[in-house]
Amino acid sequence: MYNITNSSYNFQPSFLNGVSNLVDSRRASASEYKWRQSQVDAVLSYSKSILNAHHFDAKAGFSYFGRTESRLSATGQGASTDLIPTLNASAEPVDISSSVTDQVILGYFSRINYNFDYKYLLSFNMRYDGASNLGKQYRWGFFPGVSLGWNLHHEDFWAVLPENLLNLKLRGSYGVNGNIGNLGDFSAQGAYGVGAKYAGLAAIQNSIIRNPELQWEESKTLNFGADIGLWNRRVNVMVDVFRRVTDNLITSLSLPPSTGFGSILTNLGSLENKGIELELNAAILPPNSDFQWNIAFNSSKVSNKILELPDNGTENNRIGGYYVWDPAINDYNWLGGLQEGGSLGEYYEYRQLGIYATDEEAASAPLDRIARVGDKKHGGDVIWDDLDGNGEIDSRDRVYVGTEFPTWTGGLTNTWSYKGLSLLLRMDYTTGHTIYNYARAFMNGQWKLNMNLTQEMVDNAWQEQGDQTYMPRYTWESQRGAYNIFPTRTGQQYYESGDYLSVRELTVSYELPESVLNMLKINSIRFNVTGNNLHYFTKYKGLNPEFGGRDYGRYPIPKNIIFGLNISF
């Protein structure tokens, strides 16, 4: 059982807006939110060994997950006093609403492990899961898996090698997993929403199209791996290669706007993820040394490819995308978006070549169809790349500028210790993802009048005839007239690489030696200082480079320093 209850109230006392304008609507609101979750898991397990060689163990179980969310909120206004901040003083109701929504997930699962003399390992597992928010005929899904392992070092022939020099296990597995992601509680059944009013009448609006065929998303993963231990496992290496094909991806499919709907939740085609994972642990110094140094390193590379999309009559069954110049075929083509054979999360953007240094230089600029004033360019305006060479800058002059998803991710941890003193340094990295730095473009393009600009813009903006720089002129109306940095066109420099290496944790700790402890009659005393998120090595200009996508001004991950003292008696 798990409960969250959250209640709050708000009050806006009367205030002067300007000199003579007293706003006295005195809005008051209160809300209550409850989350109640019940979970039951029942597991039976059984194990048995026969003839000291055949080892079985088995597990079977059942799980239940039920969740009820309820909300109640009310807003009123028109109280005649500032003294009471709660709703009982309000004269008129503004908005009152409550709602309840439930979800149930059930599952049966079982697992059978068998090994013969610890040499050959075999394991079966299966799940049979049902979820209340899928289409009625498709609620239950069956997800089996099998894995095999071979401990080569238990084989007789392994004895030719010196003992404990090399441990080797080969593994292979294939399994199916079911997933429903963040599927809404009633998305499959379609929904008619309520709450809006027209002329005092309560309205009912078709907000979600039903999809009675909505079913489990299935990912089938094939994995091969090896566990290698060297020198009595002082060095351990794990290598895995996998290919995961996800079918019936639960995704919102963008619909043609003329259907009157933006999207529908559907099992959309299939997606392939391929990758390798590498993990390495090593104790650099022998176990009997006073000084110890351990290194743990892991790294993985994943790439995605869209295998199949619902048939919609277009080439590659494309959904969305950009109609741009494609240098590969020397013609216009639809690129990006979702296309069979393509990848997810591709960005296309206009390419900035530089900044016109002078008005004369700008006089020969191609006609700019994106700008509000497209036929007059000045010094300080951006030189856009006319990719198709038709003498005009238009929406076809866009080019691939990166992808939202990273290629490599991983981490490196070093631990040094000497007697009671130890030092831990944990770092991680991600490369290959592109971040659209919207917040930076917002400030430099002055998309809102009262916004500040970045120091980079202060230092580098074009200011007078002849300036050689890479940032355009900073003035409100000309900026908008020329669309140098504009919501519909920022140029590739705002699609920044998010590659980073972070110093995630640095810890120094010291444990008092036993001789001292014995005097104090204390079991142990440990001091430590930990710094988290100390530094990024990155070229990204925003605050937080950790994931791709559009950065509206993400919160940075806080740096913190923790001092610890641990005493046990």
Partner 1 sequence: MRKITNNIILVIILSAFQISCSDLLDVDPTSVITTDSFWASEGDAEGALAGMYVDLRDVARFNLFILGEARADVVTLGTVGDGGYAKYYNNTVNPADAGPSWSSFYTLINSANLIIKYVPDINFASEDRKSDILAQAYAMRAYTYFVMTRTWGALPLRTEPTEGFGAETTQKPRSPMSEVFELIKNDIEQALQLFPDEDYGPYRAFWSKPAVQALKGNVYLWTGKQEGGGDSDIQTALAALNEIKNSDVQLLNNYEDVFDYSNKGNDEILMAVRLAEFETGGSYFQNMYIINSAIPSNITPETRQKIGPVGPGNNIMVPTSYLKSLYEENDVRKEETFYEIYTKNEDGNPTVYYTTIVVKEDGLITGGDRQFIDDIILYRYADVLLMIAEAKNALGQDPAAEINQVRMRAFGDDFSGNEFVAGSKEENNEFILEERLRELAFEGKRWWDLLRFGKAIELVPALQDKENPEHLLLWPISNSVLSLEPTVEQNPGYQN
Q: Which of residues 83-122 bind partner 1 (CB under 8 A)?
A: 94-95, 98-104, 106, 108
> Cβ of 523: how many Cβ atoms within 10 Å?
10
φ, ψ of residue 458 in degrees (nearest 5): -60, -45
Report in angstroms the alpha-carbon separations of 195 from 201, 224, 394: 10, 53, 43
477 binds partner 1 (CB under 8 A): yes
139 binds partner 1 (CB under 8 A): yes
Stretch that binds partner 1, among 142-150, 205-213, 279-287, 352-360 (CB under 8 A): 205-213
Chain positions 496 to 555 lying near partner 1, rule: CB under 8 A, are none
Q: Closest separation between CB of residue 386 and partner 1, Å?
A: 13
Residue 12's nearest CA partner among 72, 62, 67, 84 is 84
Q: Closest separation between CB of residue 121 and partner 1, Å?
A: 25
Chain positions 430 to 459 lying near partner 1, rule: CB under 8 A, are 449
The DSSP output letter for 255 is: P
Closer to partner 1 by Cβ: residue 209 or 230:
209
Question: Are 548 and 434 contacting, i.e. CB atoms less than 8 angstroms apart?
Answer: yes
Report in angstroms the alpha-carbon separations of 136 from 130, 132, 248, 420: 10, 8, 16, 61
Among 141, 374, 379, 406, contact with partner 1 (rule: CB under 8 A): 374
Q: Closest separation between CB of residue 547 and partner 1, Å?
A: 25
Question: Are 400 and 491 contacting, i.e. CB atoms less than 8 angstroms apart?
Answer: no
Binding mask 58-87 for partner 1 (x = CB under 8 A): --x-x-x-x----------xx---------
Closer to partner 1 by Cβ: residue 339 or 544:
339
Q: Closest separation between CB of residue 43 and partner 1, Å?
A: 11
Give the Cα-Cα-Cα angle 173, 177, 181 (nearest 5 degrees).
145
Among 1, 2, 17, 519, contact with partner 1 (rule: CB under 8 A): 17
The DSSP output letter for 493 is: G
Stretch that binds partner 1, among 119-127, 352-360, 436-444, 476-484 (CB under 8 A): 476-484
Among 118, 192, 291, 418, contact with partner 1 (rule: CB under 8 A): 192
Q: Closest separation between CB of residue 524 and partner 1, Å?
A: 44
CB within 8 Å of 515: residues ≥ 6 apart: none
- Bridge partner residues of 46 (DSSP): 58
Question: What is the DSSP annotation of 144-206?
Answer: EEEEEEEEGGGSGGGGGSPTTSEEEEEEEEEEEEEE-TT--TTTTT-EEEEEEEETTEEEEEE
Among 28, 249, 250, 253, contact with partner 1 (rule: CB under 8 A): 253
Chain positions 381 to 410 lying near partner 1, rule: CB under 8 A, are 392, 394-396
φ, ψ of residue 441 in degrees (nearest 5): -65, -40
Closer to partner 1 by Cβ: residue 22 or 160:
22
Closer to partner 1 by Cβ: residue 133 or 167:
133
Question: Are 476 and 384 contacting, i.e. CB atoms less than 8 angstroms apart?
Answer: no
Q: Closest separation between CB of residue 452 and partner 1, Å?
A: 17
Closer to partner 1 by Cβ: residue 163 or 311:
311
CB within 8 Å of 156: residues ≥ 6 apart: none
Stretch that binds partner 1, among 3-11, 170-178, 189-197, 286-294 (CB under 8 A): 189-197
Question: Are 337 and 322 contacting, i.e. CB atoms less than 8 angstroms apart?
Answer: yes
Q: Closest separation between CB of residue 254 and partner 1, Å?
A: 5
Distance of CA 296 to the CA centre of its chain: 24
Q: Closest separation between CB of residue 514 and partner 1, Å?
A: 49
Instruction: Give the binding-site size for partner 1 (rule: CB under 8 A).
Output: 96
Closer to partner 1 by Cβ: residue 139 or 433:
139
264 binds partner 1 (CB under 8 A): yes
Q: Kind and range of the H or E element at 477?
A: helix 476-482
Stretch that binds partner 1, among 126-134, 271-279, 281-289, 521-529 (CB under 8 A): 126-134
Among 203, 276, 562, 567, contact with partner 1 (rule: CB under 8 A): 203
Rounded distance between C-alpha atoms, residue 127 and residue 244, angstroms: 18
Among 8, 259, 524, 560, contact with partner 1 (rule: CB under 8 A): 259
39 binds partner 1 (CB under 8 A): no
Instruction: Could you list the beta-strand ranges (E) of 394-523.
Output: 398-403, 408-418, 421-431, 434-436, 495-497, 500-511
Q: What does the longest C-alpha to C-alpha distance in the chain come to? A: 96
Closer to partner 1 by Cβ: residue 314 or 560:
314
Closer to partner 1 by Cβ: residue 46 or 291:
46
- Bridge partner residues of 106 (DSSP): 64, 130
198 binds partner 1 (CB under 8 A): yes
Among 44, 122, 421, 529, contact with partner 1 (rule: CB under 8 A): 44
Side chain identity, residue 553? G
Closer to partner 1 by Cβ: residue 55 or 71:
71
Q: Kind and range of the H or E element at 105?
A: strand 92-116
484 binds partner 1 (CB under 8 A): no
- Bridge partner residues of 147 (DSSP): 123, 173
Chain positions 300 to 339 lying near partner 1, rule: CB under 8 A, are 310-314, 318-323, 332, 334, 337
Among 4, 53, 146, 204, contact with partner 1 (rule: CB under 8 A): 204
Q: Closest separation between CB of residue 372 and partner 1, Å?
A: 6
470 binds partner 1 (CB under 8 A): no
**H, E, C per residue of 383-406:** EECCCCCCCEECCCCEEEEEECCC
